[in-house]
Structure 1
């Protein structure tokens, strides 16, 4: 049976989400790299005056990287709990999850180049 809507429950769910974000940044070096890259994209985008649609593409690309990194980290935590010792299937699942971060980050770089390069070539 579904619980009735509760503002307190909604606030608690936001606290859990922010706690997860803090854990992601605290425990994962790559998340801090993504944070630096995200801030750099925002600074460059503001400096170059990219269009609203270009912002949409940049924000979607950054969100995909962050989502992939968060899910990769969650899977790693779970795998480490389930199988603290080496297991070839755990290695495969961690490798595939890491590949999702790599794929999303590579795509974000391509999007960034496609958007920023024309501005940078005519800037000055």
Structure 2
């Protein structure tokens, strides 16, 4: 951390960025429709990678294929249907984030390290909580 001598005011202008874009990634050059098309392609690649390489994601997708139509059938109102569906989709979102964390950790190092284990365990705990949300939402709507 940079310190200034006592009684000397800090010149904030000297620390201001030279342009309005701070630490812009060199991969962020596209705008408009091209950016949307690229983002959609990257999303499809992400879904494909997760489906091919992550057993848990694949299992949760198959579960979603069963539960989402069931949610439409069993939900008594649009709000109930939305809650049932959203809870299932939440699991997929959290699993994707967990898989991304695991991939980033494994890319950094395949050696066993306490922080790598901690990152993976925390991601796993997030998936567990998302699954609990499914159980609670479905249980309350269908059995309460």
By the TM > 0.5 criterion, same fold?
Answer: yes
1:106-121 superposed matches below 5 A: 106-117=132-143
Q: Select 1:54's aligned residue among 52, 59, 80.
A: 80
RMSD: 1.9
Asked whether the equivalents of residues 101 and 123 of structure 2 are also in contact (C-alpha less than 8 Å), the reply is yes
Higher alpha-carbon deviation: 83-92 or 50-59: 50-59
- Which 5+ residue runs of structure 2 have no aligned equivalent? 1-20, 22-27
SS of 1:50's equivalent?
A: coil
Per the alignment, do residues 25 and 3 of structure 1 end up closer, same or farther by CA in structure 2, a change over 3 Å counting?
A: closer
1:33-44 superposed matches below 5 A: 33-44=59-70
1:28 paired with 2:70, answer: no
- Which 5+ residue runs of structure 1 have no aligned equivalent? 119-124
Q: Hey, what does 1:121 align to over in structure 2?
A: none
Runs (4 or more) in structure 1 with deviation over 3 Å come to 1-5
1:78 paired with 2:120, answer: no
TM-score, normalising length from structure 2? 0.73
Bigger-Rg structure (1/2): 2
Q: How many residues align?
A: 118
Deviation at 1:116, TM superposition (A): 2.4
Deviation at 1:114, TM superposition (A): 1.6
